[in-house]
């Protein structure tokens, strides 16, 4: 059973560019959540996808968008990058919605210059 994987590991972009981050969920998991973790802070919920539909969203602007594919892997897209978008982006998969254990990937470290 493979765990949650994310790509790329690290990424450097400049202001105004667009970025796509990828997450492969753990086998058998149909739910993926995305989080942003700024340095020295706890993660912040961006959104969750359940069976290819957005299933909840945190306080992030529309330039943060996502997608979940039929195999339950997921993408996070960020348009018009800003310096404050520099952070560790974490995805977590779970076998369903609600109060279940989430399994986290290793994260993608995004630096915006």
Partner 1 sequence: KNEVEQSPQNLTAQEGEFITINCSYSVGISALHWLQQHPGGGIVSLFMLSSGKKKHGRLIATINIQEKHSSLHITASHPRDSAVYICAVQGGSEKLVFGKGTKLTVNP
**Cβ nearer to partner 1, comparing 16 with 96:** 96
- Nearest distance in Å: CB 16, partner 1: 26
What are the counts of helices (DSSP H) followed by strands (DSSP E) for the chain? 0, 11
Indicate the DSSP class of residue 83: G
Query: CB neighbours (10 Å) of residue 49?
Result: 26
Interaction of residue 80 with partner 1, rule CB under 8 A: no
C-alpha to C-alpha distance for 113 and 99, rounded to whole angstroms: 38
Listed as own residue / partner, the contacts of 99-104 with beta carbons closer than 8 Å and 24 or more positions apart are 100/31, 102/33, 103/3, 103/4, 103/26, 103/29, 104/4
**Cβ nearer to partner 1, comparing 25 with 31:** 31
Interaction of residue 66 with partner 1, rule CB under 8 A: no
Interaction of residue 73 with partner 1, rule CB under 8 A: no
Contact flags string 23-62 toward partner 1, x per CB under 8 A: --------x-x-x-x--xxxxxx--x-x----xx-x----
Residues that bind partner 1 (CB under 8 A): 31, 33, 35, 37, 40-45, 48, 50, 55-56, 58, 88, 90, 92, 97-107, 109
């Amino acid at each position: 059973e493979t765990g949650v994987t994310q790509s790329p590991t690290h990424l450097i972009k400049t202001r105004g560019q667009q970025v796509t981050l990828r997450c492969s969920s753990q086998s058998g998991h149909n739910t993926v959540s995305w989080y942003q973790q700024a340095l020295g802070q706890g993660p912040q919920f961006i959104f969750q996808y359940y069976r290819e539909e957005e299933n909840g969203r945190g306080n992030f602007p529309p330039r943060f968008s996502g997608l979940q594919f039929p195999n339950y892997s997921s993408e996070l897209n960020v348009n018009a990058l800003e310096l404050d978008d520099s952070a560790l982006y974490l995805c977590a998969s779970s076998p369903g919605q609600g109060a279940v254990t989430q399994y986290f990937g290793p994260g993608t470290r995004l630096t915006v210059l």
